[in-house]
């Protein structure tokens, strides 16, 4: 298996894991030791040990919001970073276990599963197919010991209240199947938009969140805001009255968004932010990506300990994809198999 590492630090981490495995293997094969102390290795226990060592969900446990930061069960600051799927029924092939492990090898510690609602091939039109694909992706992600965001991906439906009954049923079922699972993060409304106000979103959230809390009282819940999850100032005027809530902020390069003033405002007003979707769009005039803007954005998030998810892990023929649209490989991509956008994102994740 050939895995590309852009930075030495990640290679060192991998070598440490390999070194531990070699030491254990050699120790157990040492004849005099083995004769005196016969040992049986439980592969599940060994896997759990390695997950703990790599500081995934096994190590970090339930995440808690304090101020503007995410903390693990030890009170340590944790920044999540990773990829989002495209629509779960559009590009399900990139949610296979080896695909997700490839993102982890590049430095990801979270994966977002985007399940569209009213779009083509969305939950409302294809309920059972959507759930089947989502649960398969979820099981694959849980197997990697990464955190998993379940994204109720509203977009063209604009108002989350349009399908609030379906959302309640879905999140009630999901949380009952995986009660209080520390790996699962609930994103209850991707991008409210159009004429939707924060009060509309609050009404929806106040209906859905209690259903999740019945089965997963400690779950981290992501809540979107109006104007495609950019109107954080409206949230600050009247935040939700629940613990362990964090608010989504979405960002795309090339659109002239003043992310610093928005996020600084949120932090100063104790509104926790999670960038649950960001992407890179080519400049319409030059036809080039603005890597300086993207680097500045991610450096800023790093400084503020704000988590981020990049859109998207697919080979769709669009600017935002990290895999070339001509590429059919489903995991372990080389540099040449990534788009220019993908090379940048994977390199940054590997820091």
In sequence order, the β-bridge partners of residue 308 are 81, 275
191 is catalytic: yes
For 28, the 3-state DSSP assignment is helix
Residue of 63, 55, 48, 69 lying closest to 10 (CA atoms): 55
Of 119, 187, 191, 293, the active-site residue reads 191
User: 288-291 long-range contacts, Cβ below 8 Å, gap at least 24?
Assistant: 289/253, 289/319, 289/340, 289/341, 289/344, 290/253, 290/254, 291/344
The DSSP annotation for 225-265 comes to -HHHHT-HHHHHHS--S-SSEEEEEEEETTS---HHHHHHH
Phi, psi (deg, nearest 5) at residue 239:
-70, 160
Phi, psi (deg, nearest 5) at residue 312:
-150, 160
CA–CA dist 221, 246 (Å, integer): 6
CA–CA dist 224, 117 (Å, integer): 15
**To 5 degrees, how large is the angle CA 213–CA 104–CA 54?**
80
Burial of 72 (0-12, 13-18, 19+ CB in 10 A): middle
Of 119, 187, 211, 277, the active-site residue reads 277
CA–CA dist 218, 211 (Å, integer): 13
Residue 334 Rama label (left phi>0; alpha psi -120 to 50; beta): beta
166 is catalytic: no
Known catalytic residues are: 191, 277
């Amino acid at each position: 298996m050939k895995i590309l590492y852009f930075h030495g630090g990640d290679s060192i981490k991998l070598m440490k894991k390999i070194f531990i495995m070699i030491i254990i293997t050699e120790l157990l094969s040492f004849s005099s030791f083995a004769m005196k102390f016969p040992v049986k290795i439980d592969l599940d226990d060994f896997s759990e040990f390695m997950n703990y060592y790599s500081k995934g969900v096994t190590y970090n446990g339930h995440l808690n919001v304090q101020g503007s930061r995410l903390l693990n069960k030890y009170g340590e600051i944790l920044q999540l970073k990773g990829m989002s799927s495209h629509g779960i029924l559009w590009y399900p092939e990139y949610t296979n276990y080896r695909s997700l492990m490839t993102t982890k090898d590049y430095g990801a510690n979270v994966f977002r599963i985007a399940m569209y609602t009213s779009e083509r091939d969305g939950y409302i039109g294809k309920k059972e197919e959507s759930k089947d694909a989502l649960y398969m992706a979820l099981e694959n992600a849980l197997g990697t010991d990464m955190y998993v965001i379940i994204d109720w991906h509203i977009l063209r439906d604009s108002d989350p209240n349009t399908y609030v009954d379906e959302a309640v049923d879905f999140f009630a079922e999901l949380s009952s199947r995986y009660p209080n699972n520390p790996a699962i993060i609930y994103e209850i409304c991707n991008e409210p938009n159009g004429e939707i106000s924060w009060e509309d979103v609050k009404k929806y959230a106040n209906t859905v969140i209690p259903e999740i809390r019945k089965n997963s009282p400690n779950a981290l819940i992501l809540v979107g805001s109006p104007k495609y999850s950019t109107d954080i100032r409206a949230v600050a005027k009247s935040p939700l009255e629940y613990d362990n809530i964090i608010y989504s902020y979405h960002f795309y390069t090339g659109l002239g968004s003043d992310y610093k003033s928005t996020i600084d405002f949120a932090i100063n007003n104790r509104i926790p932010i999670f960038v649950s979707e960001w992407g890179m769009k080519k400049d319409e005039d030059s036809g080039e990506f603005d890597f300086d803007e993207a680097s500045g954005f991610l450096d800023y998030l790093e400084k503020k300990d704000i988590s981020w998810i990049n859109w998207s892990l697919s080979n769709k023929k669009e600017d935002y994809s990290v895999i070339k649209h001509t590429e059919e490989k489903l995991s372990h991509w080389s540099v040449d198999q990534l788009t220019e956008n993908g090379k940048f994102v994977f390199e940054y994740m590997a820091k």
